[in-house]
Structure 1
Amino acid sequence: MMSQPPSPVGASQPTCPGSDLSRTFEMRFTSTPRGARLARRLAAHRLDAWGIPYGTCPHEEIVLVLGELTANAVRHGHVSGRDFHLLLHVLAPVRTVRIEVTDTRTERTPPHPEALHALGLEDTGGRGLLLVAGLASRWGWHLRSEGPGKTVWAECACTTPA
């Protein structure tokens, strides 16, 4: 369940895909599997409204990356009583979608991108970030500047025709 209702302030109005305006959606969600699922579904709907339609390769890839990052925030970044924050930003002139997921757990950070490729056959985790690395143009993480926690981000190129 969401920690706060959707706000028109947190999301810009949909515009035509060829427009030079950037679009942003952000919201806090409970740090639960249900919160991660809701974040993924709302973001998928928002992408469709912004001209990145359901069923297209860019839409599916962006939603997969976003789903992995929100699931990781719940699994590895959960602090009891704390939410995670999702920011979805479409940079219209270059058609890049930036996903940022912020949690409040500082001590559990993602591995360095080069370490992902060193996973062995017996390793039981880390495959999700391999998907992110394979689908996103760039990805990384940084500690929050205000308060505890970290932000994991990914950028995906959107090649859907306008």
Structure 2
Amino acid sequence: MPHQVQTPTSAHTFTQRISASPRGARLARRLVRYHLDGWGVPYGSELSDTVAQIAAELAANAATHGRVPGRDFQLRLLLRADGVRVEVSDTRTECGPPQRPEPPPDEAESGRGLVLVAALAARWGVESRAVGKTVWALVAPPERPDDVSDDVLDEVRGPAHPVPTREP
């Protein structure tokens, strides 16, 4: 049988189902840092810290607001030509995030997750799935090249005149 060559849609992709719990949200953050480091985005770099913070917020929301007993959430991380995309999918369809998150009152102990995501991400949004939803955020490549190796920047930034692509 001949070997089929498939063109990847992303230079690097990681997908993992995780328990919808506070422990699962912490694990999501650690997994993001680990995989980014393996892809050449070092621990402690601006890009790694930003993507990990966004993943932690989206995973915490999935564990808190998107939780369905007995169901996990899914974390997906993609290193693409336009940046790093974080996706967190849960199985709850009737509960979605607000389109324009507003900061909670100063005395509130929660409610800042999506405000942080909106502030840190170049773009973010919500997509419906057959069961549930996916909340995604895109972090643009860093402006400071000393944070990330030249090879990774070339891979993330792509050609000088990129071909427009549709958002998956």
Shared fold (TM-score, shorter chain, > 0.5): yes
TM-score bin, normalised by smaller chain = 0.7 to 0.9
Q: What is the TM-score normalised by the length of structure 1? A: 0.77
Could you list the per-position Cα deviations for residues 118-144 of structure 1 after superposition, in whole angstroms to 9, with x for gaps in the alignment? 755566643111100010000010221
Shift of 1:117: 3.6
If the length of structure 2 is used for normalisation, what is the TM-score? 0.75
Q: What corresponds to 1:129 in structure 2?
A: 114
Closer, same or farther in 2 for the Cα pair 1:57/1:118, shift >3 Å? closer
* Alignment-derived partner of residue 33 in structure 2: 44
Which stretch shows the higher mean deviation, 150-159 or 120-129?
120-129
Distance 2:86 2:120 in 1: 13
Amino acid at match of 2:135: V
User: Matches of residues 97-116 of structure 1 in structure 2 within 5 Å?
Assistant: 97-113=84-100, 116=101
Quick one: distance in 1 between partners of 2:52 and 2:32?
Answer: 7
Paired with 1:87 and 1:134, the residues of 2 have a C-alpha distance of 20
Matches of 1:75 and 1:138, distance apart in 2: 23
Whether the 8 Å CA contact 2:32–2:51 is kept in 1: the answer is no
Alignment of 1:36-115 (within 5 A): 36-91=25-80, 93-94=81-82, 96-113=83-100
- CA deviation vs aligned residue, 1:60-106 (integer Å, no higher than 9, x gap): 01100010000000000000000001110001x34x00011000111
Equivalence for 2:134: 151
CA RMSD of aligned residues (A): 1.9
Name the SS for the 1:53 alignment partner.
coil
The one-character-per-residue Cα deviations of 1:42-65 (angstroms, maximum 9, x if unpaired) are: 111000111110111111011000
- Alignment of 1:23 with 2:12, yes or no, is yes
How far apart, in 1, do the equivalents of 2:85 and 2:35 lie? Answer: 13
CA contact (8 A) 2:123 2:138 kept: yes
